[in-house]
Amino acid sequence: MSDQNVRNAGFTSSGIRGGSLASSMMSHEARASGGGVHSGGPTSTLQGMGARGSTHSSGFTSSGISGGSPASQMMSQEARSHGGGTPRGGTTSTVQSI
């Protein structure tokens, strides 16, 4: 995943850009959870990367998730909490797709 993709999606160091994919994700996630965006969810994870201005050490790459990285730990934790698989639209799949 490139820093530019995260910024292009609307996750920036100054917050989520209005009218962007990021704002749409945030709105959808908030509606689905009853009004809030959960810490560790797709929106907060990507916004954290956008705020730092760097995705390089996250482990999300164009060729997949790097073993032993924070991304692989996130994927493993998400798989355990969903009975062995990472759900479509979950944190790992959303962040990897961007």
Torsions phi, psi for 72 (to 5 deg) = -70, -35
Mean pLDDT of 59-86: 83
Burial zone of 52 (CB within 10 Å; 0-12 exposed, 13-18 middle, 19+ buried): middle
Summarised one tens digit per residue, pLDDT across range 13-61 is 899 999 998 999 899 888 888 888 888 777 888 888 888 877 667 788 8
Label residue 74 by pLDDT band (50, 70, 90).
Answer: confident
Q: What is the pTM of this model?
A: 0.66
Domain residue ranges in the chain = 1-96
